[in-house]
A and B are shown apart, each in its own frame.
Chain A
Amino acid sequence: MNEIDASQNVTVLELLDRVLNKGVVVAGDITISVADIDLLYLGVKLLLCSVETMEQHKEKAESVIGGQEDA
């Protein structure tokens, strides 16, 4: 891999990390009203994130969805 390719890869990885893991998170009670979107979102997380990060998100989403079912 030449230096330009490597540099482009780094930039894409940095972009993915920021867009998926950083930024404003709009607090739960409005977004979770469409629970299946959380599941769709998990799909892309599975695709792009590390297993460890994925597990954290999965736990969060499960607790959110569980909370909804309880309600």
Chain B
Amino acid sequence: MPDERMLTCMYAIVDYSAKRLNMKPLYPVTYKDIAAIVETTCKERLIFDRQAVIEYGAALDVLNETFTLLPCRFGTFLQDEKAVLQVLREHYVFYKKKLEELRDKQEFGLKILSEKSIQVHSENNKKQSKDGKEYLLQKFYEYREDEEQKQVNQKVVDVIHEELQKLSSMSVKNAEISGHVVFSGNYLVGKKAESFFCSKVEALQRMYPELKFLLTGPWPPYNFVAEKS
């Protein structure tokens, strides 16, 4: 019987055919040529706060420098190593296929903000009309301006996304965009093409100075490990 107070936290599933792990207290649970990188923790000592999440992400970043990996979602706790082995055995084919797809590739995230729409709103807010009819008219004009701006932004971000897709082996567009964020997407980029990808984003930023580009990465491929990605 395993000690009920101990839990095994899974960090990532890695290709364990070529390199070995030296990152205590993390250790590998191996199955064939893959391994789950895990840590055994006392249940009572678990802390779930912002710092714990950041440290978990930092550990994945370090692992990502050495291994091709599938990052596990924060909070993946199994009862013991036997349960970890069972997961590896049951999903071996899928994990292996994914690891092959992701070999020598990393993720970049891009968010594009429309500064123009920010300006439109702040200018309109200054007007502060008090008459009810004027107020409604102002709101209507704001809405119309917003819609026109959205259409313009959409055309531009479609062009940008298309350009960046050419430099990546996979990409995902996030459906949830709000506020001034007019585009949010992730790109899987080969390690050798990383600097070219970044310079392309910089070039696009220069081409569209009215937009603000927020590029982050390289990340472990968080957005490319789901079954349907």
CA distance A48 to B7 in the complex (A): 23
Least Cβ distance of B88 to chain A in Å? 10
Bitwise, B48-89 to A at CB < 8 A (1) or not (0) is: 111011101100100000000011111111110001001100
Q: Contacts of B219 on A, CB cut-off 8 Å?
A: 14, 18
Does chain B have a CB within 8 A of A44? yes
Contact B73 A20 (CB under 8 A): yes
Task: Report the contact-size class of chain A (Cβ under 8 Å from the partner).
Answer: 20 to 34
Known: A14-B216, A25-B73. A19 touches B53 (CB 8 A): yes
Q: Chain A 14-25 against B: per-residue CB contact (8 Å), 1 yes, 0 no?
A: 111011111111
Checking B13, B54, B56 against A24 with a beta-carbon cut-off of 8 angstroms, the contacting residue is: B13
Which of B43, B78, B226 contacts A26 (CB under 8 A)? B78
A23 touching B57, Cβ below 8 Å: no
B49 engages A30 (CB within 8 Å): no
A10 touches B7 (CB 8 A): no
The answer to whether B70 and A19 touch across the interface, beta carbons within 8 angstroms, is: no
Contact B49 A47 (CB under 8 A): yes
Chain B interface residue count, Cβ-Cβ cutoff 8 angstroms: 38
Interface of A is mostly: helix
Of A7, A12, A33, the residue contacting B79 (CB under 8 A) is A33
Q: Does A4 contact B (CB under 8 A)?
A: no
Contact partners of A71 in chain B: CB under 8 A: none
Is residue A11 within 8 Å, beta carbon to beta carbon, of the partner chain? Answer: yes
B139 to chain A, nearest CB (A): 26
| A30–B79 touching, CB < 8 Å | yes
Among A11, A20, A26, contact of B216 (Cβ-Cβ < 8 Å): A11
**Contact between A16 and B53, CB atoms less than 8 A apart:** yes
B109 interface residue per 8 A CB criterion: yes
Nearest-neighbor residue (CB-CB) of B223 within chain A: A22
Given A10-B216, A11-B216, A34-B79: A22 and B48 interface contact (C-beta under 8 Å)? no
User: In whole angstroms, how far apart are the Cα atoms of A28 and B72 in the complex?
Assistant: 14
A-B contact pairs, 26 of them (CB 8 A): A14-B109, A15-B53, A18-B109, A18-B222, A18-B223, A19-B53, A23-B74, A24-B12, A24-B13, A26-B76, A30-B78, A30-B79, A30-B87, A31-B76, A33-B79, A34-B43, A34-B79, A37-B7, A37-B77, A41-B75, A44-B49, A44-B52, A44-B74, A47-B48, A47-B50, A48-B50
